[in-house]
Amino acid sequence: MTEIGVGSTRRDAPTDALSGKISTLKPMSADVRAQQIRDVVDAFRRLRSSVMRFVQMFAATRDTASMAGGLSSASLRELLSMLANEAQAARFSRGSMKWTRS
């Protein structure tokens, strides 16, 4: 019976020609999925930032106080609701894609 000592590892075991040529790779699908998740998260951040900028832009045209603190903690749904309210208050016309100041 051969005993393997505490400090021994598989690397210490003799290797044949075939095992020396085999290497383990990460599955391609895991890398693709991780990249897709990163892409979705990045797109969400960009969308949220754009909505925040539009809310601030509409609020600035009405000379309202800056809502920067409240905007940063608002959910996307809340930001979209604020954007709709600000656009309506600014008389933004969706059909003509222009807005007028009151």
Does 14 reside within a domain? no
User: CA 75 to CA 17: how far, in whole Å?
Assistant: 58
Which residues are 35's β-sheet partners?
none
Instruction: Give residue 80's domain range.
Output: 29-93
Coil, strand or helix at 20: coil
Residue 23 lies in a domain: no
Residue 58 forms part of a structural domain: yes
Identity at 85, one-letter amino acid code: N
Q: Rg of the chain over CA atoms, in angstroms? A: 29
Encode pLDDT of 49-87 as tens digits.
999 999 988 888 776 655 656 788 899 999 999 999 888
- Contact yes or no for 89/61 (Cβ under 8 A): no
For the cut 60, the answer to whether the pLDDT of residue 101 exceeds it is: no
Sorted by sequence, the CB contacts under 8 Å of residue 38 that are 6+ apart come out as none
- pTM equals 0.58
